[in-house]
Amino acid sequence: MNDTLVQEKARPPVAGDDVVIRIEHLKKAFGDNEVLKDISLELHRGENIVVLGRSGQGKSVTIQCVAGLLEPDEGNLEVLGKEVKELSEDELKELRSKLGFLFQSGALYDSMTVRENLMFPLTRVLKMKDEAEMEKWVTDVLESVGLEEAIDKYPADLSGGMRKRVGLARTLILRPEIILYDEPTTGLDPITSREISELIVKLQEKYKTSSIIITHDMACARIVADRIAVMNEGAFIATGTYDELSKSPDELINNFFK
Ligand SMILES: Nc1ncnc2c1ncn2[C@@H]1O[C@H](COP(=O)(O)OP(=O)(O)OP(=O)(O)O)[C@@H](O)[C@H]1O
Ligand SMILES: [Mg+2]
């Protein structure tokens, strides 16, 4: 086995002022349920941050706020230099087009082939019309995720890992600057999980994207994380590299690494 593949990522730190997402003292409640109490986090350009936390702590709610799918009650949220709450509907739409979201389910259309699933955002979102150009975008992105041969298949004919790849291709085809991943490896066997994790790193390098990746999969965290942020009871209680946090004296934190 190639040992370098399972090594924790080692990268030089990124410049401090190149922040693509700045979350400051974000709060979000649903009725009496105060989910996000005081969330602060910065994502730097080119960086992959992994968010760890027990079930129900508000990880998905946090990235849904970032993606503009949920509105925070309080706090500041700056994405690509823009304060989200100050944006008009049109500006918000423009900003959202720079964000990719990979849902847990992959959310492919079962009645469409892989090609059609990938063409769909091109016609719908980018309003592209040139068939030859769209075909090129589709084949390019399928090549990036290693799935050229699946172009005419239906989602039902694909394995779970292949469906994740198509889901990733569909996120990538709109060329987002930031990708938010909600549990990208859940439900996959360890070998496929590792392939997807390695793909996430490859795509980060190829497309220069910045990402927040929610996962419970520590093998995935180890492969993809430049930094890890641990969420507990509605706030981030620690951030650091995999190596730093795995040595934390705080039991709540180092429990994730056992
Ligand atoms: N749209 C919503 N309306 C009401 N409550 C919600 C909504 N979305 C999330 N919640 C509540 O917010 C809390 C946090 O949910 P969230 O999905 O963010 O947890 P999580 O950390 O992602 O957990 P998991 O690891 O299980 O995915 C839960 O109590 C959940 O019931
Ligand atoms: Mg979740």
Residue 150 has pLDDT above 50, yes or no: yes
Ligand 1 pocket by C-beta < 6 Å: which residues? Answer: 30, 33, 35, 53, 55-61
Residue 11: predicted pLDDT? 52
Residue 160: predicted pLDDT? 86
Based on C-alpha coordinates, what's the Rg of the chain? Answer: 18
Residue 179 has pLDDT above 50, yes or no: yes
For residue 22, what are the β-bridge partners? 42, 78
CA-nearest residue, atom 30 of ligand 1: 56
Secondary element (H or E) of residue 240: strand 235-240
- Ligand 1 atom, smallest distance to 231 CA: 21
The ligand whose atoms approach the alpha carbon of 62 most closely is 1
Q: Is the distance from CB of 55 to CB of 66 less than 8 angstroms? A: no
User: Best mutation site among 26, 27, 28, 30 for ligand 1, i.e. most ligand atoms within 8 A of its Cβ?
Assistant: 30
Q: Is 116 exposed, middle or buried (0-12, 13-18, 19+ CB in 10 A)?
A: middle
Q: What is the Å distance from ligand 1's center to 88 Cα?
A: 27
Q: Is the distance from CB of 256 to CB of 218 less than 8 angstroms? A: yes
As a whole number of angstroms, the distance between CA 199 and CA 196 comes to: 5
Residue 103 has pLDDT above 80, yes or no: no
Model confidence pLDDT, tens digit, residues 116-141: 999 999 999 889 999 999 999 999 99
Enumerate the domain spans of the chain.
Answer: 108-175
Model confidence pLDDT, tens digit, residues 233-258: 999 999 999 999 999 999 999 899 98
Higher pLDDT, 2 or 48: 48
Residue 2 has pLDDT above 60, yes or no: no
The ligand whose atoms approach the alpha carbon of 182 most closely is 2
pLDDT over 90 percentage in the chain: 78
User: Best mutation site among 28, 34, 35 for ligand 1, i.e. most ligand atoms within 8 A of its Cβ?
Assistant: 35
Residue 161: predicted pLDDT? 87
Could you tell me the pTM of the whole model?
A: 0.90
Residue 10: predicted pLDDT? 52
Residue 3 has pLDDT above 50, yes or no: no
Q: Is the distance from CB of 40 to CB of 24 less than 8 angstroms? A: yes
The ligand whose atoms approach the alpha carbon of 231 most closely is 1
